[in-house]
A and B are shown apart, each in its own frame.
Chain A
Amino acid sequence: MKIRATIFLFFLVSQLNAQKYTISGYVKEAGSGEVLIGATVVDKNQPGNGMATNIYGYYSFELPKGEYTLKASYIGYATKEVSVNLTENISLNFNLEEEASSLEEVIVSATRSDENVSSVKMSTEKLQIERIKSIPALFGEVDIVKSLQLLPGVSTSGEGTSGMFVRGGSSDQNLILLDEATVYNASHLLGFFSVFNPDAVKNVEIYKGGIPAKYGGRISSILDIQMREGNNQEFEASGGIGSISSRLTTEIPIVKDKSSLLLSGRRTYADVFLTFAKDENIRNNTLYFYDLNTKFNYRFSDKDKIFVSGYFGRDNLGFQDLFGFDWGNSTFSTRWNHLFNDKLFLNTTLLYSNFDYGFDVNTAGSGFNWDSGLQEYNLKMDFDYFLNNNNTLFFGANAIYHVFAPAKITSQESNIQDFNLQNDFAIETAVYVSNQHTISDKLSMEYGVRYSSFAKVGPDSVSVYADGERKRPENEIQTDVYESGEIVKYYGGFEPRLGIRYLINSKNSLKASYNRMRQYLQVATNATAGFPTDRWIPADFHIKPVIGDQVALGYFRNLKNNAWEISVEGYYKWLQNVVDFLPGEDVLLNDRIETAVADGIAWSYGGEFMLRRNIGKTTGWLSYTLSRTQRQIEGVASSEPYLARYDKPHDIAIVVSHKFSERLSFSGNWVYATGAAVTFPQGRYTINGQNIAYYDDSKRNTSRMPDFHRMDLGLTYELSSRWKRYNHEITLSFYNVYNRKNPFSIEFRQVNNNDPTFNESEDGPITSTRPAAVKTALFGIIPSLTYNFSFN
């Protein structure tokens, strides 16, 4: 009751103001017609009166009757001013021209210049795609997810891999959205590249904490990626030829100012290089991936706009004719933006996501095909209600139908018999409401609540075990059978969200946030890095949803007219019902997953420091994270707390770009992280003639890999062009420039002739054998050359 009264009072204050009129519209890029996200439209004389555009480029705010000069601005674009005599509600669109900046004014930010300090948002990072493209990358392949790993609180599982671990969360605790559709496996080549073609991407934003109520379904982070819409003014093409892949993107205006189509593709040609390998076993293999992105939009009017986008990507791995393995994602998004009036904006989205993999084993007598997949059908409605200048309400609902088909094995007329693992079905729903509330010039809040629910539905058969006994097949006392659509188990709960910003002055602010998240799906894996065959499992009769709470506090400061940003954040996160494998168990073909896992708790805490420069000839950032991540699972490591493998107390990244001239620019980064927490052996023995290490099973991850550090450098030179509309550049980059042999793995095994790569058939007779620790370092110094072009 008290809360309701408080909210009422907040709204009442706004109602007491004088008669006001609404100004609303879109802010777009003049050259392409693409909407600009986060652009600001304000009253020039009172910049406090105004609004930033939402992710569809829409803004709405109120002013009293009168004459105003409205100013629309966006970093990197020329500010535009329009005078209006406000006597009624008006609709006003801005088309901003890209600014030809001088060398001293290079800007690499996708946010308002003072957003670091002024926004309620914390624990959120937005990276401009041009910034991502400038970071030197492995084999020259620009990688969005790996760029995010350079931010504080986001770490990687190992050399070159694209899995993300955010503030101590595991990689399946990140919700990865591409045009709002879930991407279940965001990596190619078993994790060494992410699936996002940077040419097709417009906006990248990651929420590590203080997650708004509109998002849910994962505990640790939300990675929200929007694809570009495509130029609706004139034809445009761009692409690149790299060391391992090539890309081509075309943007086609269908109806000028109203409609455009974007088509973008990327394919690797590692398989072409394989044919040059000396080893026949490698030469005859297949290894490639490709991505296709497409997006179509049509603007019926300023009130109605539709977007249809899709992504299709696939990896193929083949071992001669004997073995084939392929996997991939596909997503499909249809969105309809509708303005009921100048204050109420609705986005209705219909989404489809699919991830599947399959392999064929063609060996004589035991050939079979294996197919596995999961699908998500999602309907969302998200409302933005611009109640007044101090309150913007966000509310909505969504419903997801999940289908999990973990394994279907089909014989190739061999001794293998057909086999099906039971499919799983579930319905996940959520409703939410939140308010972005400016209480005073100094105090702003965003508060809200989300209610999510999850129903595991039939057909299903559930094993029931004897009370007090471990969930083992031998302890099963009955099997309950559920018909199609019948509810097997229902979970639900509130997820409160809160963000507070106190503006000390225009250069300093303090922020705090709290969020609770519920996650109803998890990946059942006992390895750290994701593998395409990892099985997503839903919460069910035995496995509960993971619940995560996080509090964060931060101090934010901007210096030198917002050219420098400083932020210091501390967080504490605690999770319930975290699942881990019991030693020796496997779930790949297990119909009773509950027999293989145990649940427990996890917690992580840390501090993150960020110093960033966005404007000037030299830009970049320094980030440092000090953190700890632990778990405690019944039946694992004597049920005592243990460190997660990805616990990295110290994690440092330095990212620098420097523009020497209009044509020549340099970029570089250096990363350092404490070595992963791992388990080393405490002895050795021999069984069946096999030498094998002995481990102390009462402890886990008490040792450390050697520390990780690496420097990458890149130079980009813009080539001269005979044609005005054709621009091209060449990038030379060096990954791991000082050739640091960072350990990808440390294996404990027998080594012959003191040579870990010894091959008896090639290297002669074995003269000695001994047990050793063998370090594998994946990538030494790797130079790469990329040619990029654009035609517009």
Chain B
Amino acid sequence: MSREILVALAGNPNVGKSTLFNALTGATAHVANWPGVTVELREGRTSHHGVEMRIVDLPGTYSIGGVTEEAERVAREFLISERPDVVVVLADATALERTMYLPLMVMEITPRVVVAVNMMDVAARRAIHVDLQGISAALGVPVVGISALRGEGIGALLDRVLAVAEGREGRKHPLRIDYDGLEPYISRIEKLLVKSGWKESIPARWAALRLLEGDPKVAEAAGRYSEEVKSEAERVRSEAGIDLRIPPDQVAVESRYRYIDRLLRGRVRRTRLLGSGLSEALDRVALHPLGGPIFSLGVMLGTFFLAFVANMGFPLNLILYLGGMPDLAEAVEELSLTGLLGGFFEWLGAEASAALSNSGAPGWLVSLVCDGVISGVGAVLSFLPLVLTVYLLLGALQDTGILARSAVSLHKFLRKFGLSGRSVFPAVVGFGCNVPAVMATRALDDDRERMIMAMTSPIIPCQARLVVMLALAGGVTRDPGGQALVMLAMYSLSVVLWLAVSALISRFMFRVRSAPELVMEIPPYHRPSLKVIWWYARTNTEHFLTKAGTLILGFTVALWFLLHFGPSGFVPQAALESDPSSVEGTFAAALGKALAPLGSLVGLPDWRMMLAFEAGFLAKEAVISILVTTTGAPDPAGALRALGMTPLQSLALTVAMMTYTPCVATLAAIKQELRYVKYVWRVVAYEIAMAILLAAAVYWGGVALGLS
């Protein structure tokens, strides 16, 4: 017989929750929509002793009591609305005093809990001994020691999960914590609720506590039973605050920690004090007021240097050109992953075209497959290695704990711009791709900071824009040194814009008076684990593929249609290639021409430039292929020459390309994170305005200075 049980996985950030999730679910993991919490969560399956388990990975949170914190709301509402058969809550054996807080909170909602104490191996190495049985006996639920990274104790954990699901082990009722001074108020509200016929899936005592803590959702639920109960509860709450002179939610936090102190007394023993020499020495540098920021920036620059070289040879090829070794530079370019994949798709397109033509397929179909689908898929796939390498390196930075130090050391600087040190994470990810950067803003505590970062992180130049920039820089100057300078200037400009716009939004849109403060945990330095880094990279890359991939593919086909069809019907690729002027008969040209007056504003009057901007809205890297196909030039630099672009115009074009609206995939991510379309429009509007202003400033400024 087979049945399925629903298991939710909860835990603090940094306790190895993702590692356990991956160890449990392996290749079955995927992202699924949970309408009850209006958010996507990762889930996967496993089976144990013939029982199928569906495992859902809740967001990493320190608590589930927060009212404004998105992640906490999601975790809490999942537990309440989906009612999982078992909740596995992770704690960290090396920091039980802190990480038992979340298990307690979960146990107050549901008795069907298994506590998994992770990092037992690390604890053993640090001579920390944990009496798991004693804790289990005191809590009344199974407590299992595991090492998610080494896969130790997973079988035992699943045994306990089954036992709790079948009711053989565990508590019958939710955990009851003694809330000292709050108790009389809790029981008063609880009685009111019971009298009003409370039949929700959450325990009345917990609901009473939540009402005291000021949870608007529970108040709403209480209001459905009787408005009187709701207002009475509100009265009791303010009464408690006045009597105790302390807001009830703070009393509750203290009581829980006091419970933990009693629970762990005599059950956790540290025989040797912490303080490994190396991590202290590292922290002396990483947390130094001056050395810290330099260290962080150095590590990040080094990371991107590595990623870019592996993927497209840049900037190593430029360095080799400058060093007078052009042959070697070309070899580096061709052997880079992007170069290899580009060559492959060119070959595939030609083969498919020949095969289809021979079998008598109509011309437009051959073109759709070869110029639309294959080149579209190629566009996505040639980015895959780039994205993957960046995530591998970012994963390493995060797993070792280095990124957390960067957040701390850059916090003071970022505060000046209305951001906190935590914004370092999404910003750094943004250099790889803006889509995951926007998604990474979810981890920010401060609601306003989260919105600011979701709206401004797209300014950070992603790798697709790097490709465009590289090509356009060739039109500004032929000198490789000059090109490198242009690139450096563009990156600096983008970072300055990101900070400036963040500060402006913070000050004028949200009218924030004091910048967000920082409270964050600094995980201990880890030796990087390849397994964890790989999981991190794989998950994020898959996300990129599904989100960006489908969009880019779909829009490439749409673009193909615009480029190959016109009022007079199909325009074959061969005609476009042999006679670039034939593009004028397409819908794309009509659209470009309509926008041409806008281009004249910034010194870019040619309608083909506007067409490139349209294409870049779908996917930035498409800009290059548009410029090349519509001019019939062999390479981007040639295309710019064919368009009659002066170096000054090329520079204005580069600036505009860097700063105008983010691609559709990024906008979709912003919509998903911020929920309202109005924010998407604002992003599009301010970025286009910014691009026009800057490009116009560059062009007309240059003209005024007598440049061309």
- A in complex with B: no
